[in-house]
Amino acid sequence: MQLFFSTRILLIVALLLSAAARAEPLRELADFAGVRDNQLVGYGLVVGLDGSGDQTMQTPFTTQSLSNMFSQLGITIPEGTNMQLRNIAGVMVTADLPPFSRPGQRIDVVVSSIGNARSLRGGTLLMTPLKGANGRTYALAQGNLLVGGAGAEAGGSSVQINQQAGGRISGGAVVEQGVPVDLGMGGGTLELQLREADFGTAQRAVQAINAEFGHAVAAALDARSIQLQGPANANARVNFMARVERVEVTPMEAPAKVVINARTGSVVLNRRVTLKPAAVAHGSLSVVIDTQFGVSQPGAFSDGRTAVVPDSDISIQAQQGSLQFVEGADLMEVVDALNALGATPQDLMSILEALKASGSLRAELEIL
- pLDDT per residue as tens digits for the range 78-112: 777 667 778 898 999 999 999 999 999 999 999 99
Position 310 scores a pLDDT of 65
Q: How many Å apart are CA 127 and CA 172, to the nearest integer? A: 10
pLDDT over threshold 90, residue 155: no
Q: Could you read off the pLDDT of 4-14 as tens digits, one per residue?
A: 434 444 444 44
Residue 16 has pLDDT above 50, yes or no: no
Is 292 a residue whose pLDDT tops 60? yes
Q: How far apart are CA 87 and CA 65, in angstroms?
A: 14
Q: Which residue has the higher pLDDT, 271 or 149?
A: 271
198-246 pLDDT, tens digit each = 999 999 999 999 999 999 999 999 999 999 998 888 888 889 999 999 9
CA 37 to chain centre: 17
Q: What angle do CA 341, 345, 351 make, to 5 degrees?
A: 55
Of 210, 213, 202, 217, give the one whose Cα is nearest residue 250: 202
Q: Which helix (H) or strand (E) holds 103?
A: none
Q: Identify which of 290, 273, 283 has the alpha carbon closest to the alpha carbon of residue 329.
A: 273
Q: State the pTM of this model.
A: 0.68
- The pLDDT of residue 361: 81
DSSP letter at 196 equals: S
pLDDT above 50 (res 3): no
**Which CA distances in Å does 231 have to 22, 122, 217, 238, 289?**
30, 52, 10, 9, 78
Contact 108, 40 (CB under 8 A): no
Residue 18 host element (H or E): none
Cβ atoms of 93 and 141 within 8 Å: the answer is: yes
325 burial type by CB count under 10 A (0-12 exposed, 13-18 middle, 19+ buried): exposed
Q: How far is CA 48 from CA 25, 58, 126, 179, in A?
A: 49, 19, 10, 34
In the chain, what percentage of residues exceed pLDDT 70?
73
DSSP-derived secondary structure for 239-253: HHHHHHHT-EE-PPP
137 neighbors 103 (Cβ within 8 angstroms): no
Give all strands (DSSP E) within 147-196, no chain letters.
150-154, 157-161, 166-175, 189-194
Q: Find, among 130, 137, 128, 163, the residue nearest to 149 by Cα.
A: 163
What local confidence, expressed as pLDDT, does residue 126 receive? 93
Mean pLDDT of the chain: 79
CA dist 148 → 44, 70, 134, 169, 224 (Å): 20, 31, 33, 11, 40
Q: What is the pLDDT of residues 121-139, one digit of tens each?
A: 889 999 999 999 999 999 9
| Straight-line distance from the first to the last Cα atom of the chain, in angstroms, rounded to the nearest whole number | 25
Give the C-alpha separation, 238 to 240, whole Å. 5
If one compares 97 and 73, the residue with the highest pLDDT of the two is 97
State whether residue 123 is helix, strand or coil. Answer: coil
Between 326 and 140, the more confident residue is 140
Contact 138, 128 (CB under 8 A): no
